[in-house]
Amino acid sequence: MSSFGTAKLLDDAADRIADISRADLQIMLRRAALRLRNAGFVLMEDDVEEALANLASEFGVTRNDMIRYIVREWMEKNTYLPVHALDEDGEVDGTA
């Protein structure tokens, strides 16, 4: 289960705390604890942190999602990862 899925389960459980079973709550809390233990955190300089916060806010994503996006883009542009292929027959948003 993704971090987003786990967070949603915890939010839903908090909204209906009286209705959730002890066993279900225990499972969700253990999943959350496991994710926290395994979560990596990259420390950046203050100016980089500020830029990340601004970008994340602009894109409407979390700091970690912004870092993942930036790293993926950099790796694709520098040929460490293949570029996502676009379907030539598919529809696109915007204009050329």
The structure's pTM equals: 0.49
Is position 56 within any domain? Answer: yes
Instruction: List the CATH number of the domain containing 45.
Output: 1.10.1220
- State the Cα–Cα distance between residues 54 and 73, nearest whole angstrom: 18
Residue 53: pLDDT band (50, 70, 90) is: very high
Is position 90 within any domain? Answer: no
Mean pLDDT (the chain) is 83
Is position 9 within any domain? Answer: yes
Buried b vs exposed e over 11-41: b needs ≥16 C-beta within 10 Å? eeeeeeeeeeeeeeeeebeebeeeeeeeeee
Domain extent, residue 31, equals 1-39
Is position 92 within any domain? Answer: no
Structure-model confidence comparison of residues 78 and 90, the more confident one: 78
